[in-house]
Structure 1
Amino acid sequence: MINETIPLHPILSNINLIAIGQSQLIYNDFNGITRPAIIICPGGGYLTIHEEEAEYVALKLVALGYMVFILNYSTSAPYAYFPAPINDLSLALDYVHDNAERYGINQSAISVLGLSTGGHLASLVKPKYKLKSKALIYPILDLSSLTNFSTAREKTTLELMFSAIVGNAHPTFEQLRLWHSDAFICEETPPTFLCHYSDDIYCSEESARHYLEHLNKKRIPFKDLKVFSKKHGNPTIDPSNDWILSYHNWLNTL
């Protein structure tokens, strides 16, 4: 079993990749067989990294034969100021691509999967290397839609997040629009898997529909999976709504 931590930053040790997968020796037995790779961007509101969430998904994917990398990207002020997390993801893509042979990876089968704010991050990257796919799982697609929450706890969390990523606890619509997910859709955007929850107040049906419309305009292939009776930030599997298996099956059609 591979379980390694790879530093990505010369100074900040918390910016790293965690590689998880079957041993290359056991997996391909030197027969030249390669496997797909997935870089996971965990959630955490750009304030922390939700490790358990990412590890749960990673182990499920490893069991399906993927080489998985969990990205611990820049969080909290002043480190998460955009585009720092995007740069971290680019470094991760560089590393995985450049070390594909070491891990028995097919260079044409590298994907990015993001959860919550990690889904937002995954939606922003313009890959240097052509990705096989992007998976956005209960992603925050529209930062400006988060300004309407009313509880004190929600307001404080949002103020901290906005301060971290744009340097302003009360940003303007124009500031947030710069980092709107649909603004980063282009002809080079890879096929996209979007999973959103029916009871998710952070990824509304409207924002999901809007994002899919933009993908369609650019003729980007996509899979839209709506999971019912799920709340934001819960990746665990309901046998009737196994989004990881749906994602795996969809990847095999590309």
Structure 2
Amino acid sequence: MKTEEYNLNISDHQFKVKGYWLDQVADFGRKVDYPVVVICPGGGFTFHSEREEEPLALRFSSFAMHVVVLEYNLIGKKPVYPLALQEMAKTIDWLTKLPESMHIDKSKIILAGFSAGGHIVAAYNGIGTDEKLREKYQIDRYSGQHAATILGYPVTDMTVKGSFPEDEQTLKKISPDKTLWKTQDLLNKKSKPTFIWLTRTDELVNVTNSLTYANRLAQLNVPTELHMYESGIHGLALATYVTKKPGKNKYLNRRAAGWIDLVMSWLEMMDLVL
């Protein structure tokens, strides 16, 4: 495996992505193009959680998938949106234009978002598949399309009371555009198949987020799989020792740790694996 950081540009704005590229295996007897997962880690739009970056990248890589981690726009001088959408579109465009020597199956670009990063993926699954919205948010200049999305304990509706974000000031720093507050309202019949997992006792992101989003996908007849574990805190990541915070056993959850195997069996059913 090779890892490399890249600086991508949108006009005068620069952002980083990190690629985890699988090597070719001589024993296969031929060259292989691998699917690629684009990860948007969580962090409340104030940082990028490293627990949801390399540990997840290496786990997906073990299933014969390239991985790219997107260091998307955070709360700062400018709102998170619409720049974060443009960063995602640019990343997909960049992937589709990489040389054949990178051995990417460009028909199998999968977006994976966790917590706040899940909001970006959830929103993009609506906006990126709607011609009018692509034009509105200035992503119609970019080529390429994702094939599916994976959402882990995602923020999908920022208006849910008692859930992140908890104050209107933060909400407006994320997006002054109310259209982006409820990602379920952005979905359409061309939105891509989606896998969602969460825990019922998530103390930060109310389960209403995932349930409402999944319900809307089902209404649109978009292939959807939803797994809600009975217990577990927010931000479990892999829910194993690899992503456990030191001395905090609450980040271990044997049942929820099975989410990634469920994801892979679902991707296999969707014909999105090697």
TM-score band by shorter chain is 0.7 to 0.9
Q: 1:148 is matched by which residue type in structure 2?
A: G
1:85 Cα deviation after fit: 0.6
**Residues 141, 203 of structure 1: 8 Å contact kept:** no
Question: After superposition, where does 1:86-235 map in structure 2 within 5 Å?
Answer: 86-99=85-98, 101-125=100-124, 126-127=128-129, 129-145=144-160, 147-148=161-162, 158=167, 161-167=170-176, 176-235=178-237
**Residues 142, 207 of structure 1: 8 Å contact kept:** yes
Secondary structure of the 1:82 match is: coil
How many residue pairs match? The answer is 239
1:159 and 1:59, CA in 2 relative to 1: closer, same or farther beyond 3 A? farther
**Residues 20, 69 of structure 1: 8 Å contact kept:** yes
Secondary structure of the 2:53 match is: helix
Partner of 1:20: 20
Structure 2: 5+ residue stretches without partners = 130-142, 240-252
1:27 and 1:182, CA in 2 relative to 1: closer, same or farther beyond 3 A? farther
Whole-angstrom CA distance in 2 between matches of 1:249 and 1:159: 39
Give the fraction of aligned pairs with identical amino acids, expressed as a percent. 21
Runs of 4 or more consecutive aligned structure 1 residues displaced over 4 Å after TM superposition: 10-13, 27-30
1:34 Cα deviation after fit: 1.2
Matched, 1:240 2:255: yes
**Residues 46, 164 of structure 1: 8 Å contact kept:** no
Whole-angstrom CA distance in 2 between matches of 1:244 and 1:100: 29
Q: Which one is further off, 87-96 or 178-187?
A: 178-187
Secondary structure of the 1:38 match is: strand
| RMSD after superposition | 2.4
1:28 Cα deviation after fit: 8.6
Whole-angstrom CA distance in 2 between matches of 1:28 and 1:135: 31
Structure 1: 5+ residue stretches without partners = 168-174
**Residues 5, 19 of structure 1: 8 Å contact kept:** yes
Deviations 1:108-150 (A, max 9, x none): 11100000010010011115533221011100011011x5369
1:177 Cα deviation after fit: 5.0
Q: 1:218 is matched by which residue type in structure 2?
A: L
